[in-house]
A and B are shown apart, each in its own frame.
Chain A
Amino acid sequence: MKKWIDAVLQSPKLVAVPIMTHPGIEYIGKSVRDAVSDGEVHFTAVKKLEELYPSATCCTIMDLTVEAEAFGAPINLPEHEIPTVSGRLVSTYDEVAALQVPDLTAGRVPQYLLANRLCAQFVKDRPVFGGCIGPFSLAGRLFDMSEIMTAIYIEPDTINLLLDKCTQFITAYCQAIKQAGSDGVVMAEPAAGLLSDNDALLFSTEYVKQIVAAVQDDSFTVILHNCGNMGHCTNSMVQSGARALHFGNKADMGQVIADVPDDIIVMGNLDPVTTFKQATPEEVKNLTSKLLRKMAGHANFVVSSGCDLPPHVPHDNINAFFSAVAEFNASI
């Protein structure tokens, strides 16, 4: 994996990695519910994307409910939309203290690990990234997102205890993803983007760092995704130690690249909806080219979508994105 990162940093050619799995699920004619519940369907969708598009990596589904469900949180599992956590699991210190950290057989975790294993086994031409949630975003799903925002000030001991348990589970999950043969993990921590940089350091980065220290090495990379960051908490992302940082479409990539050291990969940030889903192929190509020109000369930049592509993105738009990247690289 280090070789791949070094190659990205040293190559004048730009690398493209849109975060997407819905197009693959749609292409194989399965529902979202099928894909998030069955590791083989999940793998088939990801493999189809590998066949269809020249993405530099292969990523499993960005599903921010798997870990909360493993803890016992109730979830909605609609047929054609991504699952969502539907209720609060813990609300007091005592409840958090009594909360058991689940093992890796809970909920749909085994199916996600199966998808990682199959991807690692059958995708040989590019690195495979699994997906997981970040500790603060998981804690928010277990404690209620609105409530955790005020609880970090009113009852910080409760939240720190909950974050310890979330971190323990995510670390074990990432280690299992690594053992499954994946080359890294995309850790989605969007809720940290709602905090100030200082609070993000205290209630997210402090815990992300522990996970990174436990799993990241030359064979396994953590990509920290925070699409809630509007540029105000980039420092907290840098401090995580993750070798790659992924930004949402609200961040100014010109500012981001100036705030991030050159040896850390910076990924982002075309709008998944207004660009990938709603624009015409010509507009997608123009917007992609515009971003590439803006970021030209930054070897640590990897062009990507700002977040997971939603369902029903036209294939012509995805092709237009890759076409813009190919034309840009041909011009170098």
Chain B
Amino acid sequence: MHKPTIVVVGNGMVGYKFCEKLVAKTSAFRIIVFGEESRAAYDRVHLSEYFNGKSAVDLSLSTEAWYAEHDIVLHLGNPVQEINRSTKTVHALLGDTFEYDYLVLATGSSAFVPDIPGVEKDGVFVYRTIDDLELIKAYAPNVKKGAVMGGGLLGLEAAKALIDLGINETHVIEFAPRLMPRQIDSAGSAMLQSKLTDLGLNIHLNKSTAYIGGSHKIEALHFNDESALAVDMLVISAGIRPRDELAKLAGLHTGTRGGILVNEKMQTSDESIFAIGECALYENMIYGLVAPGYEMADIVVNQLTGGSKLFYGYDMSTKLKLIGVDVASFGDAFITEPDCRTIVFEDTHKGIYKRINLSTDGKYLLGGILIGDADAYNMLLQTVNNKMILPPNPEDLILGSRGDGESTDAGVMSLPDDALICSCEAVTKSAICGAVNDGAANVDSIKKCTKAGTGCGGCIPLVKDLVAGTLKANGVYIKNVICEHFDYSRQELFDLIKIGQIKNYDVVLDHFGKGDGCETCKPVVASILSSLWNEVIVKQDTIQDSNDRFLANIQKGGTYSVVPRIPGGEITPDKLIVIGTVAKKYNLYTKITGGQRIDLFGAHVSDLPAIWEELIDAGFESGHAYGKALRTVKSCVGSTWCRFGLHDSVSFAIEIEDRYKGIRSPHKLKGGVSGCVRECAEAQSKDFGVIATEKGWNLYICGNGGSKPQHAQLLATDIDKETLVKYLDRFLMFYIKTADPLTRTATWLNKMDGGMSYLKNVIINDSLGIAESLEEEMQQLVDTYHCEWKEAISNPDMRKRFSHFINAPEEKDPSVQFDTMRNQVKAKEW
């Protein structure tokens, strides 16, 4: 039987999605795809992540094997050069001619490069493809000052990329009087600008570039207002241009400002030729987002398989994180009074701006803008799209309910069944709830069976709430159970193991769990066992996370790092020399850590015991950098040397670090002790922080650096050392006993009913009557401290575990390879 042939021109996200949707529906067509780039379709939405660690492989959407599996002929690096409509053929660059029955143009867009003298100079780039990114990356190491032309969405993404590349001074040049003029209003732009300026970005508005100066490579930007800016690199991100040249050449109708004209069937002026994605112009509009592109692909698939689905434009609401700042705009963001009523919330201190536009009768939400905090975006967008009647106090939508805490999942469940939750994959609320009712009980399984959340991922919080809401509606009681093997929360399991006096993982599993365990519950139980009984963790080595199993952190390339404890950051010259000698002998990379100690990287697993033997001989102990345990207690130099110091912060830090070292907890613990209010030890960013006062010490708890920094909160003022240690004992033990797995103290406190006042009551006023037993339990852990490495090296059986090949213990892993950088080793790139 003759199969009609579909030729797809372009292998970007939308072209790929078209193929995916088509083969999912029918195998009645022969499909031939032509791509201009040498790579198969990849995720352009998350392109900037290429600079913080994602590889081209991570970004790829499909493999060549996938095309082969579905009998799709894929021509990469072979763009179509010409379409001959009378013979229904395309002619590709590498010389061949192919017949088509239907042609789908998914040629996308290219970066718009304004006609400015000097754009051809070295150091001027565009930001569009992985190849562009590679050029930028190769050029960046010698760049001190970089600039991005364009303060729109893509321009700010490019600016983030320059920051990620380590360019110290990054400028953004925008022609318009504000940032992101297409998405947000001027008040929102101003807020965004001040946040970005705080983050170190230099923003220049109202600047039109006259020419790019420099002899051979770029040296400066010269503006029409006679001013100039010295830069050694420029990334142009001034907008996109639809790739319509092929269509034009073939005589298809195109828009005056570019774009291939299509009707609601996505048909061009030739009815056997379709255009989808950023090259298509529908009712004078180019849709430069991926979701509408996917919708267009779906329309064409539907048309080709006998359906009658039509395209009626698409919601252009977006939410994104720009350089760490949430920016969202949805519905009709720009409508102004008197056509609507507007509620604005502005907090210049925190950098939050929220605006919602209501219908004049106050019943419906029309649209809005969120800067700095866009948590409410999904729900607000749903409220607009589903024309939901607003509550009597619509300001609650952006301020949060300030009365009795109504939970938000009720809101999600009140959405109509046909509410579109995942716009990338067009999945409705009823599809998701239906999947839950059919047994998909978590986000991962929803992703698998409905594809919701697999595109941009923006809807995942909503999906989560829907899953939880549906389960709840079905009468399923939801608690934070550990995993499929244990139907208990960590706190419950902690108590059960304690009451049962159980010391072995398999026994715990036999008593309280089912199956054979997994990588989630094993380390949780290991941590509980350790917090309760404090036995040598390597006795049950295979239930420990890899880092705890080898008492070292596994690093890129499969080597391990070695971190000896340096309490309070104090170290003698002799010990420093030992570290240097060991590092040299075993060819290790050395770096000072943020916690005032020294990391040694690049150790072969088989060298670990010998390295530690030498360190322990010199008086070092394990630093527990590999464990969910106390890391460091950072200190400032204190009153022994500092002219401002009030008390001896170093001695106290050492005392505290020695007290709590080795104790296993739900997550890592960090502390700090500062000798005066200048706070050089940054104690308020730690799980516990101590600051000297005239009269004694102040104790702060539950601070956190990391991705969501949070200041520690004051627990007690002007207390003496003994009281402080007592409070710390109670606080840490209470945390160890009650927190969920991998929950830092800050998050633990945030989730605690009653918050800080409750915790204060438990610790200081002993409101639960457990203070004494918390202290005893802690003392028990302190008394049973042992250096794990000392135990490991003195036990031949344990030592044997530290070899890569058990049948060739003297051989090292040949796949471990190093490069050099600044005269030290570094792991080879993966």
Q: Do A and B come from one complex?
A: no
Which A residues are closer than 8 A to B by beta carbons?
A: none
Which B residues are closer than 8 A to A by beta carbons?
A: none
